[in-house]
Amino acid sequence: MANITGIVVNLPTGETKALADYGGKVLLIVNVASYCGYTAQYKGLEALYQTYKPQGFELLAFPCNDFGAQEPDSHAAIAQFCAINYGIQFPLFDKLHAKGPEQSPLYGELVRYDDEPVAWNFEKFLVDRSGEVVGHFKSGTTPESAILTDAIEQALAS
């Protein structure tokens, strides 16, 4: 099983954040990009965040430039783009690598869930309250799709 509780990620401030700090919450972890055909999913991701946050849900977004070089900007530019165009309130972490020789420890652990590498931007990993990865949803799975919302609701109920 893949478990992320031992992973530490980088914040854009240069500080780090232990994912264990999210213990007891259901997480949706997404690799995001500002210049992708799936970028409009930010709107649905924010809606998910607002809908489920009161029930113990967190959405963690990780900018990633690994796929088509579709996230070349600085963190400040990415954050501004997200705020102006989508009004996102969920955490936007420091840029990382989801694949390749520089793959972040987070993504190294996430892909252990189903041994499926991340193939593109806006792939989603669902993590239960104990830090276990319980779902991997490809880019084409929209935030509004029943398969994703049902999985989130099931994780929140357990």
pLDDT in tens, the chain (158 residues): 799 999 999 999 899 999 999 999 999 999 999 999 999 999 999 999 999 999 999 999 999 999 999 999 999 999 999 999 999 999 999 999 999 999 999 999 999 999 999 999 999 999 999 999 999 999 999 999 999 999 999 999 99
CA distance 22 to 56: 10
Parse the chain into domains and list their residue ranges: 8-157
Q: H or E segment at 65?
A: none
Per DSSP (E only), the strands in the chain are: 8-10, 16-18, 26-32, 57-63, 124-127, 133-137
Active site residue 82: no
Superfamily of domain 8-157: Glutaredoxin (3.40.30.10)
Return the number of other C-beta atoms located less than 10 Å from residue 77's C-beta: 12
* Identity of residue 79: A
Among candidate residues 19, 27, 36, 92, the one labeled active-site is 36
